[in-house]
């Protein structure tokens, strides 16, 4: 996977911003993902593909964390913005407070790579959310790897 350095979204997320998001989502992000986003916040990638569910997927860009969404031209790629747009399509629990599945990367054709906290709050799996197959409170996910570090390793 090749990161397009010039596409990294600035400013990079601060510890305070990360804590604020974790509190809102009611989850703790894995250290491996935090290390990644603190360096490559919202970056586009070249040739970042992976196989899952007998399909090939290509990552368009990783999502970012921003403090000032409205005044940043890349605000549409903020994790919170994407989460708020598709949140009820990421859960089957209408009463859920916070997040169980969090989008972290946009995939070509409208799907998202997500951290899946549903089965392991400490070490979320990585899955792909299928927007075409999902309905409101009827999400469809396909597991990619058990950990974020494993996901980065399989990107071609």
Domain boundaries, the chain: 2-154
CB-CB neighbours of 1 under 10 Å: 14
Residue-level pLDDT at 123:
93
**DSSP secondary structure string for all residues of 24-59:** HHTS---HHHHHHHHHHTT-BEES-EEEETTEEEEE
| Structure token pair of residue 8 | 């990294």
Q: What is the pLDDT of residues 94-116, one digit of tens each?
A: 777 768 999 999 999 899 999 99
Contact 6, 61 (CB under 8 A): no
Q: Sign of the C-alpha dihedral, residues 3, 146, 126, 52?
A: positive
Residue 75: φ, ψ to 5°? -55, -25
Q: What is the pLDDT of residues 132-156, one digit of tens each?
A: 999 888 999 999 999 999 999 999 7
Predicted model pTM? 0.94
Q: In this model, does residue 86 exceed pLDDT 90?
A: no
| Structure token pair of residue 145 | 């790897």
Q: What is the pLDDT of residues 41-58, one digit of tens each?
A: 999 999 899 999 999 999
Contact 29, 18 (CB under 8 A): yes
CATH number belonging to the domain at 2-154, selected among 3.40.50.170, 3.40.50.720, 3.40.190.10, 3.40.1580.10: 3.40.1580.10
Q: What is the pLDDT of residues 118-132, one digit of tens each?
A: 999 999 999 999 999
The secondary structure of residue 132, as a DSSP letter, is T
């Amino acid at each position: 996977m090749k990161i397009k350095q010039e596409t990294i979204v600035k400013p990079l997320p601060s510890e305070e911003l990360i804590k604020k998001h974790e509190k809102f989502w009611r989850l703790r992000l894995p250290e491996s993902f935090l290390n990644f986003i603190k360096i490559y916040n919202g970056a586009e990638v070249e040739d970042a593909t992976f196989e899952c569910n007998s399909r090939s997927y290509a990552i368009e860009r990783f999502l970012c964390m921003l403090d000032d969404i409205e005044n940043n031209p890349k605000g549409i790629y903020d994790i919170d913005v994407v989460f708020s747009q598709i949140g009820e399509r990421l859960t089957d629990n209408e009463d859920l407070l916070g997040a169980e599945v969090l989008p972290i990367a946009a995939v070509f054709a409208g799907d998202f790579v997500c951290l899946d906290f549903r089965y392991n709050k400490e070490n979320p799996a990585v899955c792909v959310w299928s927007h075409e197959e999902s309905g409101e409170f009827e999400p469809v996910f396909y597991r990619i790897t058990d950990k974020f570090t494993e996901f980065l390793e399989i990107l071609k």
